[in-house]
A and B are shown apart, each in its own frame.
Chain A
Amino acid sequence: MKITLDADKCCAAGQCVLVAPEVFDQRDEDGIVVLLDAEPPAGQHDAVREAAAICPAAVIEVHE
């Protein structure tokens, strides 16, 4: 799995951080998403898919 972000669209609501805190974080200055792990291990895949599904701004793209 590979993750890419379109962070310009991020509205910093933090849903991704709630469901996959090991993969996503928020920048201190403005809460915009940052990727902690662009190729997370299998154990994280479900959480990442969930984050992509609930992200309100279609920021997270998952390539499998």
Chain B
Amino acid sequence: MTIPTAPAPAPLPVQPPTGCPFDPPAAFDALRTEQPISKISLPDGSWAWLATRYHDIRAILGDTRFSSDTTLHGYPLSGMTGGGNTQNRGFIRRDPPEHTRLRRMVTREFMVKRVEALRPEIQRITDELCDAMERDGGPVDLVEALALPVPSLVISLLLGVPYDDHEVFQRLTGTLLSRTVADEEREAARIELRDYLDRLVTAKEAAPGDDILGRLITEQQQTGEITHDEVAAFAALLLIAGHETTANMIGLSALTLMRDPESAERLRRDPGLIRGAVEELLRFHSIIRNGPRRVATTDIEIDGHLIRAGEGVVAAVPSANRDEAVFPDADRLDITRPNAQHHVAFGYGIHQCLGQALARVELQVVLATLLRRFPAMRPAVPVDEIPFRTDMAIYGCHALPVTW
């Protein structure tokens, strides 16, 4: 008699079910009920744990014995975008006490009341982009016309990018995130942006302004806590972490509301519902598709499975956010779901998204404005012709042609 060997682990599921571009990969449903802690294979032949249940994922992300340090052996990197660059990796890829020290240098910039004070500016930015859309008339690519520029303009405002540079900044960040440009062009844009941020920090050192970089320079760099390069790394992290994420949530959410006229009408009638609706859209879409990821620094038991020191873990937030044990009727978008805010779309634990208050306000403003100003907006192509980002770590639409 031979002892049956366990089947070789499959790769991380990324493909949404056929015909349901808004649902996470179907394989998660079975894993959650049958094998909530399973193994996945990585392209380089190694493997990592995959957690799919809400409570396990909160337990993992809430436990600092699971490290975010991408330089540690066993951290799942192979086949995953992001995290490869270990130089200047920013606090997102560090552990306490370094993580705490660095994160606290910028937490004040993203606290709820600071972000609320920015709401009129975010509205102005949104209105100007909508004015341009109205002037030019449809069809337009909503990703290019609105979803990408809003977070880019908002972060340039926060960082203190001078107005005259906004165009360059937006062009570079746009190229960086575009799939249609050649690799060399994207790499050139990455270098140009890095050099740009470096020059920006140098300029701010000479004349620090009333903005994030100015305050980092006067309060942390000049007191010797951080270096010029670290200030530039802060700028790059805030830009990268906040741009593609918010842009894709804007695109996907706008499309979802175009396809759900009943929810759209409720939101138009009662604009106060937008806050809860944004939480539900964050839960429903869970755009981070390859993590967060961690590596165990010691042996830890999760749900009866022993995860050994040096083993990697992928915490599948799209699966956690569809866990029926927490969100009844989880595959339904319910803009008044009472516990929508329990989602882990922003992660959980000490790395939970620093920019979440900002992302929330950007989404609330943009979606409410679209509903109000473009009540007849609809996709200009059949949904199966919209290019969804099944190939990317951050889910969304590569392009979203709309008309009104």
Contact = CB atoms under 8 A, between A and B. Distances in A.
Interface of A: 9, 11-15, 17-19, 25-32, 50, 53-54, 56-58
Given A11-B103, A13-B346, A56 B110 contact: no
Given A12-B104, A13-B354, A31-B107, A26 B342 contact: no
B112 interface: yes
A28 to B, nearest CB: 7
A25 B265 CA distance: 34
Q: Is the interface of A mostly helix, strand, loop or mixed?
A: loop
B377 to A, nearest CB: 28
B347 interface: yes
Contacts of A15: 341, 352, 356
B113 to A, nearest CB: 7
A24 to B, nearest CB: 9
A62 B351 CA distance: 23
Nearest to B110: A31
B208 interface: no
B112 A56 contact: no
A57 B349 contact: yes
Q: Among the interface residues B341, B342, B351, which one has the most CB atoms of the partner chain A within 10 A?
A: B341
A9 B349 CA distance: 10
Nearest to B99: A11
A21 to B, nearest CB: 8
Interface residues of B, number: 24
Given A30-B104, A53-B342, A58-B62, A12 B348 contact: no
B108 A31 contact: yes
A19 B360 CA distance: 13
Contacts of B103: 11-12
B352 A56 contact: yes
A14 B361 CA distance: 13
A51 B112 CA distance: 14
Contacts of B108: 12, 27-31
Interface of B: 61-62, 103-104, 107-108, 110-113, 341-342, 346-354, 356-357, 360
A14 B62 CA distance: 16
Contact of B107 (A25, A32, A54, A58): A32
A56 B113 contact: no
B341 A11 contact: no
A26 B349 contact: no
A13 B353 contact: yes
Contact of B357 (A14, A30, A56, A57): A14
B107 A30 contact: yes
A54 B349 contact: no
B337 to A, nearest CB: 13
Contacts of A11: 103, 107, 349-352
Identify the 7 closest CB pairs spanning chains A and B, nearest first.
Answer: A31-B111, A12-B107, A31-B107, A56-B352, A14-B112, A26-B111, A17-B112
A34 B110 CA distance: 16
B282 to A, nearest CB: 12
B121 to A, nearest CB: 19
Contact of B350 (A26, A31, A57): A57
Contacts of A13: 346, 352-354, 356-357
Contacts of B349: 11, 56-57
